[in-house]
Structure 1
Amino acid sequence: MDKQTLAILVTIGFSLVGVIGDYFLKRASLAEHSLRSGWFYVGFIVYASTAFGWVFVMKHLKLATVGVVYSVSMILLLSAVGAIVYRETLNATELVGIGLAIGSLVLLMRFA
């Protein structure tokens, strides 16, 4: 596996870690004192844990590529968590937006 492919996979993995961090931050937001809840600190630590890996990713990918791969991964994963865990519904406009996000990723990978 070449380093560029590995960097893309690491970026997607960081999206998953970011979603886990977002889950804990969402739990913190439901607490009366959000910034003092244990959920906030867990979410903060989860996010901070990815800092060293981002240096590897940015060494092997353009920042625009990192941004698109990370953003689309986050959109898909957070939408899934919202729908499955929090029973949030997606309207037609949001579904079109998700489709366009996936299309942007396809275009970026095809012409990068």
Structure 2
Amino acid sequence: MSNQNPSTTSFCLAGIEDDYKVQLVHPQLHLLKRKSVSGSVRKQNFDHLDVCFTRSNRGNNLLTIDGKPFTLNRRIKDACYWECVKLRCKYIKCTARVVTKSNQISALRGHHNHQ
């Protein structure tokens, strides 16, 4: 990696600098931008929701919010990322997701597109 000027960084790919060169203008800029998730609800108060942690018939963790079940997708430190059980259905593919931290809901994303 070589710096030609402070705002431009170039990468040499496959050792051939003439043919394969990628210029990145302001390489730090992509770290400052955050994508806004459409349909996200970020509130600190989710007390109006009916929340229940249970286990499925197969023994997996389930989070039920207002009668809609979510399965545990992954855990990172104290955060649990849940996805709607209908996400993997062939025709429905529901995009609703939940993030919990210390068993408290911290974010709701997406909308249920099913009953």
TM-score (norm. length: structure 1):
0.21
Higher RCO (CA 8 Å, separation ≥ 6 residues): 1
Larger Rg: 2
TM-score (norm. length: structure 2):
0.21
More helix by share: 1
